[in-house]
A and B are shown apart, each in its own frame.
Chain A
C-alpha cells in the first residue's frame, strides 16, 4: 500500500521527496525522489527527474530516471529520458527514447 498517492486530477508543481512508496496517477512537474518504489500509473504524466528504489512506469514520463534496484517500463508506457538502474526491462508496446545505463 502506497503511502503517498498523487491521484488522478491532482497536479504537483515542484519537488517531492519521500522515504515511502509513491504512486502517481495525476501530474507531477519538477522533481520526484523516493527511497522506495515509485509507480507511474497509466494516464499519469510526469515531467520530472525521478529517483527511487525501483520504478514501474505505465504512464507518460519525461525526465531522467535513476533507480537503485530496477526500472520496469510496462506496456503503454511512454518514456523520454535517460534510465540508470542495475536492471531495466522494457515491455513490448512501451515507447522509449533515451539512454540506458545498467552499471555494466
Chain B
C-alpha cells in the first residue's frame, strides 16, 4: 500500500519539485511543481502552490497553478483553484471555486495541445490582466468588438469558458452606435425642459 502511494502529510511542507511514476496524496503544502504519471489527490487541507500534472487529478483543497490531467480533472466541493485546467474530462462540482481557463476534450493532456480554438480563446481569458482600452463607450470611429469581451471578463467572476463565449458573441454583434444614445439623451433633456 505504501509502496504504491506517496503521501505528503498534513504538517509537511515540500519546497521544490515532486516527480515520479506513482500516485500522490497531498494533505499538506507543496510549494513547487508536481509532475507524476499516477493519480494526484489534493485533500481538503492540502495546498499546492504551483502546477500539477498527473493522470487523474482530484482536488478538494487549494491549488495556485495550472492543472493538467492526462485522463481527468475532478474539482470537488471545497476545491479552490487559481489557474488553468486542462484534461480530456473536467468535472467541477458545486462548491468548487475556479478562476482560470478551463478546456476539456481529447488531446489536452498530450504535450502538443496548441489547438486553434485554444489560441483564439486564450487572449479572452487573459484579458482581465490587460486594462480594457477606453472602457465603457467606444467612440463611433472604432466600434471594434475587441474591447467588449475585455469588459465582460473584467466584470464577470464566472468561468472563463463562458467568458470566451461572450467574447465571440460580442464580436459578431458590434456595440450599438452612439447616435441612438444621443437621441435618448436629447429626449430626456427635452422632457425635462417640458416639465
Residues on A lying within 8 angstroms of B by beta carbon are 2-23, 25-26, 30
Contacts and interface: CB of A to CB of B under 8 A. Distances in A.
A47 B59 CA distance: 31
Contacts of A22: 9, 12
Contacts of B9: 2-4, 18, 20-22
Given A10-B18, A14-B32, A25 B12 contact: no
B148 to A, nearest CB: 44
Given A4-B28, A22-B9, 8 more contacts: A7-B22, A7-B23, A10-B21, A13-B16, A15-B15, A18-B11, A21-B9, A26-B20
B21 A30 contact: no
Contact of B6 (A6, A18, A30): A6
Contact of B14 (A2, A5, A15, A25): A15
B2 A10 contact: no
Contacts of B3: 7-8, 25
Nearest to A12: B18
A5 B17 contact: no
Interface in B97-128: none
Given A3-B7, A4-B7, A4-B28, A9 B12 contact: no
A5 B4 CA distance: 10
